[in-house]
Amino acid sequence: MGTSGAERGGPRAEAPVYEQIRYEVDEPLATITLHRPEVLNAWTDRMGAEVRHAFARAEGDPRAVAIAITGAGRGFCSGADLRVLQGLSRGEGSGGVPPELHAEPGDPAFGEDFRGTYTYPMSIPKPVIAALNGPVAGMAVPIALACDLRFASDRAFFSLAFSQRGLVAEWGVSWLLPRLVGPSVALDLLFSARRVDAEEALRIGLVNRVVPHDELLSEVRRYAEYLAEHCSPTSMAIMKRQVVQQLAGRLGPAEREAVELMIESFRRPDFREGVEAFLERRRPRFARLGEGAVHPHAPSARPSGPAEVRGSAPRR
* Confidence tier at 165 by pLDDT (50, 70, 90): low
* CATH (domain of 295): 1.10.12
Does the residue 152 lie in any domain? yes
At 264 the pLDDT is 77
Does the residue 89 lie in any domain? yes
* CATH (domain of 216): 3.90.226.10
pLDDT tops 60 at residue 30: yes
User: Does 59 share its domain with 130?
Assistant: yes
Determine the Cα–Cα distance for residues 189 and 167; give it in Å rounded to an integer: 14
Give the count of domains, the chain: 2
User: Does 138 share its domain with 204?
Assistant: yes
User: Does 136 share its domain with 171?
Assistant: yes
Does the residue 316 lie in any domain? no
At 284 the pLDDT is 77
At 252 the pLDDT is 75
**φ, ψ at 67 (rounded to 5°):** -125, 130
Segment 58-81 mean pLDDT: 93
Report cis status (omega within 30 of 0) of the bond before 28. yes
For 192-245, the pLDDT digits (tens) are 888 999 999 999 999 999 999 999 999 999 999 999 999 989 889 988 988 888
Determine the Cα–Cα distance for residues 84 and 96; give it in Å rounded to an integer: 12
Handedness of CA 109, 114, 119, 122 (dihedral sign): negative
User: Does 221 share its domain with 277?
Assistant: no
User: Does 210 share its domain with 276?
Assistant: no
Choose among 308, 271, 310: nearest CA to 294: 310
Does the residue 16 lie in any domain? no
User: Does 125 share its domain with 63?
Assistant: yes
Distant-in-sequence, close-in-space partners of 104: CB < 8 Å, separation ≥ 6: 5, 8, 9, 10, 56
Distant-in-sequence, close-in-space partners of 94: CB < 8 Å, separation ≥ 6: 44, 45, 84, 87, 88
Neighbours of 250 (CB within 10 A): 8
Q: Is 184 helix (H, G, I), strand (E, B) or coil?
A: helix
**φ, ψ at 124 (rounded to 5°):** -85, 125
Last-in-domain residue among 205, 225, 245: 225
At 305 the pLDDT is 34
User: Does 267 share its domain with 166?
Assistant: no
Determine the Cα–Cα distance for residues 204 and 265; give it in Å rounded to an integer: 35
* Confidence tier at 50 by pLDDT (50, 70, 90): very high
User: Does 177 share its domain with 38?
Assistant: yes
User: Does 40 share its domain with 112?
Assistant: yes
Domain around 297: 232-301
For 255-266, the pLDDT digits (tens) are 777 777 777 767
Question: Distance of CA 108 to CAs 7, 207, 232, Å?
Answer: 12, 27, 21
Average pLDDT score over the chain: 80
pLDDT tops 60 at residue 92: no
* H-only helix segments in 205-301: 216-230, 233-245, 251-266, 269-279
What is this structure's pTM?
Answer: 0.78
User: Does 167 share its domain with 219?
Assistant: yes
* Confidence tier at 275 by pLDDT (50, 70, 90): low
Last-in-domain residue among 225, 244, 261: 225
User: Does 46 share its domain with 183?
Assistant: yes
Does the residue 283 lie in any domain? yes
Determine the Cα–Cα distance for residues 217 and 31; give it in Å rounded to an integer: 10
For 280-313, the pLDDT digits (tens) are 777 777 777 876 555 555 443 333 333 333 333 3
Question: Residue type at 147?
Answer: C
User: Does 283 share its domain with 176?
Assistant: no
Last-in-domain residue among 201, 225, 249: 225
At 12 the pLDDT is 45
Choose among 25, 33, 106, 32: nearest CA to 63: 25
